[in-house]
Amino acid sequence: MSTATQPQRVAIVTGGSRGIGRQAAQRLAADGQAVVIAYAGNDAEAEKTVTEITAAGGRAIAVRADVADENAVAELFDTAERAFGGVDVVVHAAGIMLLGTVADLDLDALDRMHRTNIRGTFVVDQQAARRVRSGGAIINFSTSVTRLALPSYAAYAAGKSAVDAISLILAKELRGRDITVNAVAPGPTATALFLDGKDEETVDRMAKMNPLERLGTPGDIAEVVSFLAGPARWINGQTVYANGGIA
């Protein structure tokens, strides 16, 4: 019997310095993967994530990159390949959420979300499609708001609907490569992205919308990422709703 060990899998996690991205990075590191934390600008939080992973015995580095900048994202993948030998998993958790009704939303906010949430997904997925090794996984982030249709979320949900479409079509384009492509669609989750600007009454009301009557945690979502990044080889081209049954 061969005693050769399998090479360590390598994951890039965008938005990996905080919230769901950080928890996903920590979970993948705990699963045995080397992790490249991609972040937009908070050096301290990115280094904190790396420190926590390495203190727990994992391998991690941080790379600053604007996900909508194709040159920065190409360099991100180059860095991952130089540091760890290749890329097996890409978790694209970076995103922004700016709320407003269709009648009142500032169009600059619409353009900012389009650049980060749609163009950013396309740019990251483009490099992932070119670079991820056989047996790998690409995991994008959608939202359960595409089903809930909550007022003031139209622009955000529209961008995430584009993520669903990109994920499904890319899964088909990668035929024969043994690479899965899926999207994770969280419901209300206790992160700064969700909590910022909401009063306690609104948070409590949204927490009770699902049958489990609580907000999700970043750890809940990281469990789904871990599954799709590793054993879930027969789930492909799907949007997986991780929301406690809210919709």
The dihedral built from the CA positions of residue 17, 88, 141 and 78, taken in this order, carries a sign that is positive
Say how far apart CA 133 and CA 102 lie, in whole Å.
41
DSSP H helices, 114-191, are 120-131, 145-148, 154-173
141 Cβ neighbours under 8 A, 6+ residues apart: 15, 20, 92, 93, 95, 160, 163, 183, 184, 185, 186
Check if 153 is active-site: no
Catalytic residue among 39, 153, 156, 241: 156
Question: By the 8 A CB rule, do 73 and 17 touch?
Answer: no
Report the catalytic residues: 156
